[in-house]
């Protein structure tokens, strides 16, 4: 069956997003934070599965919002497919980049179907009505996210994990080339964390979907990511593969915790936190 992402296995792997010499700081009278990204350079290549790690306040979510165009840098350029990001219309960006924010909230009693269907907005004509092809994609995604039986339930009537899957489904029906997720495993139980990441890996490998996740879980990062970006204080400390990034000395520097890493006969790595239990 043909993928809803219309994967072309003969495509070349190219740079999709490039951030060049980015300077960004929050300007708010109510925000006394001195956080800033300074001279920040970062490239996302087609087909990568990138996890962005770092302590709270290191710039992970800010970076994601810059890539989507929700935030604009004070200096520097962001290019999408070699075109300046601010030259795109919002609808055209939405056909390339889909974003799942942290803990999305809905103050209106939309159904699960309506939440997922919102992702088709960039493709609707002036009438605003879904075509048969749109409904086919929506139904496929509901099935993929194991939400078909909840399609008529209100978003505020389901569990946090089910709501999270609905918002991921909304992003997938955009048929993006790039999927950005800010802590996608929040609110998910262990079973659904694994099923969601297995799905993301399948979409990445089989359909060529480029995936960037903001993460806190070191083990999920180690299992599923092809590349890790380590941030601290608004700067890139390390950009490399998991075997380079997820080592005790790097984790100690970034998170100020000690870890032990075990590797089994299949070369799978398990990362164990070693907390300091002293009372001092």
The domain limits of the chain are 15-247
* Of residues 100, 271, 113, the one with CA closest to residue 183: 100
Cα–Cα distance measured from residue 72 to residue 69, given in angstroms and rounded to the nearest whole number: 6
Task: Determine the pLDDT at residue 126.
Answer: 73
pTM: 0.88
Task: Determine the pLDDT at residue 5.
Answer: 43
Which residue did the predictor score with more confidence, 116 or 35?
A: 116
- CA 272 → CA 137, 170, 186, 248, distances in Å? 41, 34, 20, 10
DSSP per position, 24-49: EE---TT-----EEEEEEEEEETT-E
| pLDDT bracket for residue 33 (50, 70, 90) | low
Residue 227 contacts residue 241 (beta carbons within 8 Å) = yes
Task: Determine the pLDDT at residue 182.
Answer: 92
> What CATH number was assigned to the domain covering residues 15-247?
3.40.50.300
Residue 22 contacts residue 235 (beta carbons within 8 Å) = no
Q: What confidence tens digit (pLDDT) does each residue in 112-132 have?
A: 999 999 999 999 887 778 899
Reported for 215-221, long-range contacts at CB under 8 A and 24+ positions apart, including other chains, are 215/51, 215/52, 215/53, 215/183, 215/185, 216/53, 216/183, 217/185, 217/193, 218/53, 218/246, 218/251, 218/259, 218/271, 219/270, 219/271, 220/185, 220/193, 221/51, 221/53, 221/246
* Of residues 265, 213, 218, the one with CA closest to residue 243: 218
Share of the chain above pLDDT 70, in %: 90
pLDDT at residue 19 tops 50: yes
Half-sphere exposure of 111 (CA within 13 A, CB side): 11
pLDDT at residue 280 tops 60: no
Q: What confidence tens digit (pLDDT) does each residue in 170-214 have?
A: 999 999 999 999 988 877 888 889 989 999 999 999 999 999 999
Task: Determine the pLDDT at residue 2.
Answer: 33
pLDDT at residue 102 tops 90: no
Q: What integer is the mean pLDDT of 45-65? A: 94
Task: Determine the pLDDT at residue 105.
Answer: 61
| Partners of residue 255 on adjacent β-strands | none
């Amino acid at each position: 069956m043909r993928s809803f992402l219309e994967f072309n296995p003969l495509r070349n792997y190219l740079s999709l997003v490039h951030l060049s010499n980015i300077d960004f700081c929050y300007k708010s009278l109510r925000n006394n934070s001195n956080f800033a990204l300074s001279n920040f350079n970062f490239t996302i290549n087609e087909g990568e599965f990138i996890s962005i790690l770092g302590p709270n306040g290191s710039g992970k979510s800010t970076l994601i919002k810059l890539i989507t165009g929700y935030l604009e840098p004070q200096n520097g350029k962001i290019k999408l497919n070699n075109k300046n990001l601010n030259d795109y219309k919002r609808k055209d960006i939405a056909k390339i980049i889909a974003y799942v924010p942290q803990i999305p909230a809905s103050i209106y009693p939309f159904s699960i179907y309506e939440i997922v269907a919102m992702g088709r907005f960039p493709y609707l004509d002036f009438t605003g009505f879904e075509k048969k092809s749109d409904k086919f994609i929506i139904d496929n995604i509901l099935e993929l996210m194991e939400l078909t039986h909840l399609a008529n339930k209100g978003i505020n009537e389901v569990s946090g994990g089910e709501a999270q899957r609905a918002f991921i489904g909304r992003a997938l029906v955009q048929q993006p080339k790039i999927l950005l997720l800010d802590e996608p495993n929040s609110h998910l139980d262990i079973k659904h964390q694994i099923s969601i990441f297995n799905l993301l890996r399948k979409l990445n490998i089989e359909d060529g979907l480029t995936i960037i996740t903001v993460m806190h879980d070191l083990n999920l990062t180690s299992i599923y990511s092809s590349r890790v970006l380590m941030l601290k204080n608004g700067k890139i400390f390390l950009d490399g593969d998991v075997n380079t990034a997820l080592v005790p000395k790097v984790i100690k520097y970034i998170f100020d915790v000690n870890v032990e890493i075990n590797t089994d006969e299949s070369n799978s790595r398990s990362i164990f936190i070693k907390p300091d239990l002293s009372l001092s």
